[in-house]
């Protein structure tokens, strides 16, 4: 486990691709089987455990130390697994460190109860970096910036073969990849590549840069369609296997039996998962009721019926359409969806336009119907092949302009992750009349991004210089008629909320500008905000 956790540590801090490759090759070439195979699986996401929930890990740590000391530590570090890894009290005379393969194989056989005992025993035996690796592994996310593609490149380097050779066989292999390593080290012939129902890495869009991209690209080269407000899915039915993948390749089929039942075709569709009501897309809030669940009961299925709005066709029967240009794939998709006659799978229509100006008008004033709930527009080059990743040029997303209000900074909390040590989470409020008719600020939301690192430093200093009270990680800052910091807040939508004192909840709020110049008393009033309710 030591070599693996050191590798993870170094990968996490190394941004450069080539350096990551060096580290990976060094590890994969020197670690023994099956250790390196399990490491490879966990790095590429092929091996995920949800053996331990964050709540359990936290409880285990709190059982060994004062909960307040734990929470002060968590607040400082910002990441649960890292906090536990750092604060876990050393146990002199603990068992020897477990190997990664031992962890993986024990977890496969262990009951839930046993998992908890094993986990505590391993935490006792490992050092801080080993504990971090173990906890990340058990909570299902290493996130050290190694894509499957990068790992495959390291493998290609190790075996001195082309990356496409690795990709070809990849989906037919399974951890701990004994055959794969045997082939790469020239002990065995190349393994076979056939695996129907496998996930195809998705193609993603770049955000458009209005300043430069419209001048650079021509309107006639692009098709436009609305950007639906659901989640991206890949639905496949191949050789009798039905699959529904999220855009990262996670199989979410069990939570969407209604969608799975509707996959009466032979091929692979790329589209948006939405809640459909009478053929129309419901707001994202409805879909949220069905996300992050393992299963769905009959009541939920009836109340929130899900379907797919298709926008691409990757496989039709055995034919791989990805090398075809978008224009050709689109024709095939239209016929394919047309033939299905299934009310759970419809077609994302193209939005005709002739110039960028015309498209800008459409974006600002979407036509009646579903486009009104869209997040914006998607632009796809007619001649673009389906290329996994986020290439620059073929696909763009162009989101709608957000709503803007001027609010006053009221509270700040120390940030998590990259921002730990900075006051970077800001609660802001607008003016309202209180029961006595006096103007008072009422909090309406919280934002923690939208500013540069330089601005963050200034905001952090402002918070520290103008703190009124401290509540653990939170500070209240001076905010009254005569003094306060105005933040221009951008947000996507506003809904009524009973959970918030102000009665409104913002979607996706962020700091758009910092109005160092604007007096606090001139910030917006609650009624202004209420007019923006969706």
Partner 1 sequence: MQELARSRSMLGFRQLLRNTPEGLYCPPGDFHIDPVRPVARAVVTHGHSDHARSGHGAVMATPETLAIMAARYGESFAGHTEAAGYGEKISRGDVGVTLVPAGHVLGSAQVVLRWKGITAVISGDYKRRSDPTCAPFEPVPCNLFVSEATFGLPVFHFPPTDDEVAKLLKSVALFPDRTHLVGAYALGKAQRLIALLRRAGYDKPLYMHGALAGMNVLYQAHGVALGPLLPATGEARNALPGEIVIAPPSAIADKWARRFADPIPAFASGWMMVRARARQRQVELPLVVSDHADWDELTLTVGELKPEEFWITHGNEEALLRWAQLNDVSATALEIAGYEDEEE
Min dist CB 161 to partner 1, Å, is 23
Cα→Cα distances 521→198, 337, 438, 462, Å: 58, 56, 13, 18
- DSSP per residue, 201-260: PPB-PEEP-TTTHHHHS-GGGEEEEEE-SSEEEEEEEETTEEEEEETTS-B-GGG-HHHH
Question: Using CB under 8 A, which of 36, 227, 419, 475 touches partner 1?
Answer: 419
CB of 275 to partner 1, least distance (A): 37
Q: Which is nearer to partner 1, 92 or 317 (CB)?
A: 92
Nearer to partner 1, 3 or 161 (CB): 3
Q: Omega into 176 within 30° of 0, i.e. cis?
A: yes
Beta-sheet pairing, 395-399 with 206-207: parallel
Binding-site size for partner 1 (CB under 8 A) equals 34
Of residues 94 and 327, the one with the C-beta less far from partner 1: 94
Whose Cβ is closer to partner 1: residue 12's or residue 362's? Answer: 12
- Segment lying near partner 1 (by CB under 8 A), choices 5-13, 164-172, 276-284, 478-486: 5-13
Find tokens 């991209």 and name the residue.
Answer: 213
Asked if residue 76 binds partner 1 (CB under 8 A), the reply is yes
Write down the least CB distance from residue 27 to partner 1, Å. Answer: 11
> Residue 227 catalytic?
yes
Beta strands in 387-458 (DSSP E): 395-399, 403-414, 423-433, 439-447
Q: Which residues of 11-44 are buried (b: 16+ CB within 10 A; e: fewer)?
A: beebeeeeebbebbbebbeebeebbbbbbbbbbb
Is there binding between residue 150 and partner 1 (CB under 8 A)?
no
Asked whether the beta carbons of 523 and 406 are under 8 A apart, the reply is yes
Contact between 342 and partner 1 per CB under 8 A: no
Q: How far apart are CA 4 and CA 129, in angstroms?
A: 10
Reduced to 3 states (helix: H, G, I; strand: E, B; else coil), residue 442 is strand
231 interacts with partner 1 by CB under 8 A: no
Query: Smallest gap, in angstroms, from Cβ of residue 75 to partner 1?
Result: 9
Of 30, 55, 66, 499, which one interacts with partner 1 (CB under 8 A)? 66
Closest distance to partner 1 from the beta carbon of 23 (Å) = 7
Closest of 422, 423, 442, 420 to residue 431, by C-alpha: 442
Residue from the set 22, 289, 466, 467 that interacts with partner 1 by CB under 8 A: 22
Instruction: Give the chain's largest Cα–Cα span.
Output: 84
- Interaction of residue 60 with partner 1, rule CB under 8 A: no
Contacting residue, 323, 349, 417, 519, with partner 1 by CB under 8 A:
417
Q: Which of 25, 151, 175 is nearest to 100 (CA)?
A: 175
Q: Does 23 bind partner 1 (CB under 8 A)?
A: yes
Residue in 227, 368, 418, 501 annotated catalytic: 227
* Span 356-415, contacts to partner 1 by CB under 8 A: none
Report the 10 Å Cβ neighbour count for 527.
11
> Which residue lies nearer to partner 1 by CB, 86 or 362?
86
Distance, in Å, from the CA atom of 28 to the CA atom of 17, rounded to the nearest integer, reads: 16
Site for partner 1 in 91-130 (CB under 8 A): 127-128
Measured from the CB atom, the residue of 337 and 459 that comes closer to partner 1 is 459
Q: Are 448 and 415 in contact (CB under 8 A)?
A: yes
- Give the footprint of partner 1 on this chain (CB under 8 A): 10, 12-15, 19, 22-23, 26, 65-66, 68-70, 72-73, 76-79, 82-83, 86-87, 90, 127-128, 416-422
Catalytic site positions: 227
């Amino acid at each position: 486990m030591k070599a693996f956790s050191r590798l993870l540590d170094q990968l996490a801090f190394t941004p450069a691709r080539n350096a990551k490759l060096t580290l990976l090759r060094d590890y994969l070439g020197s670690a023994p089987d099956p250790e390196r195979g399990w490491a490879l699986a966990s790095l590429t996401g092929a091996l995920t455990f949800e053996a331990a929930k964050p709540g359990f890990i936290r409880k285990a740590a709190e059982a060994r130390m004062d909960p307040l000391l734990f929470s002060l530590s968590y607040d400082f570090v910002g990441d649960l697994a890292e906090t536990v890894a750092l604060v876990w009290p050393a146990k002199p005379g603990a068992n020897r460190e477990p190997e990664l393969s031992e962890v993986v194989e024990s977890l496969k056989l262990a009951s839930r109860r046993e998992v908890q005992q094993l986990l505590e025993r391993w935490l006792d035996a490992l050092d801080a970096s080993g504990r971090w690796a173990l906890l990340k592994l058990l909570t299902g996310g290493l996130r050290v910036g190694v894509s499957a593609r990068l790992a495959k490149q390291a493998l290609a380097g190790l075996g001195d073969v082309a990356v496409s050779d690795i990709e070809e066989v990849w989906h037919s292999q399974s951890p701990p990849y004994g055959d794969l390593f045997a082939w790469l080290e020239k002990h065995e012939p190349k393994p076979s590549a056939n695996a129907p129902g496998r996930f195809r890495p998705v193609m993603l869009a770049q955000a458009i840069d209005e300043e430069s991209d419209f001048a650079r690209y021509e309107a006639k080269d692009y098709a436009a369609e609305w950007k639906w407000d659901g989640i991206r899915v890949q639905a496949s039915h191949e050789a009798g296997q039905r699959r529904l993948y999220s855009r990262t390749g996670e199989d979410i089929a069990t939570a969407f039996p209604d969608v799975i039942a509707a996959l009466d075709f032979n091929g692979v569709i790329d589209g948006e998962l939405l809640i459909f009501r009478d053929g129309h897309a419901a707001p994202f809030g409805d879909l949220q009721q069905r996300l992050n669940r393992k299963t769905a009961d009959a009541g939920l299925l009836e109340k929130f019926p899900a379907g797919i709005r298709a926008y691409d066709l990757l496989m039709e029967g055995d034919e791989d359409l990805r090398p075809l240009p978008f224009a050709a794939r689109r024709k095939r998709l239209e016929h394919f969806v047309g033939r299905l006659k299934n009310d759970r799978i419809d077609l994302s229509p193209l939005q005709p336009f002739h110039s960028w100006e015309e498209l800008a008008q459409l974006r600002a004033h979407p036509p009646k119907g579903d486009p009104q709930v869209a997040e914006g527009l998607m632009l796809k080059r007619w001649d673009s092949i389906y290329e996994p990743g986020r290439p620059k040029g073929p696909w763009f997303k162009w989101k709608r302009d957000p709503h803007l209000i001027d609010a006053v900074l009221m509270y700040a909390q120390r940030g998590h992750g990259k921002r730990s040590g900075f006051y970077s989470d800001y609660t802001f409020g607008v003016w309202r009349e209180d029961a006595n008719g006096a103007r008072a600020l009422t909090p309406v939301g919280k934002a923690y991004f939208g500013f540069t690192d330089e601005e963050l430093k200034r905001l952090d200093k402002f918070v520290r210089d103008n703190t009124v009270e401290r509540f653990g990680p939170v500070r209240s800052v001076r905010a009254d008629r005569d003094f306060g910091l105005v933040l221009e807040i951008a947000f996507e939508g506003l809904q009524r909320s009973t959970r918030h004192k102000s009665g409104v909840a913002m979607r996706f709020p962020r700091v758009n500008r910092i109005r160092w110049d604007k007096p606090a008393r001139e910030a917006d009033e609650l009624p202004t905000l209420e007019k923006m309710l969706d």
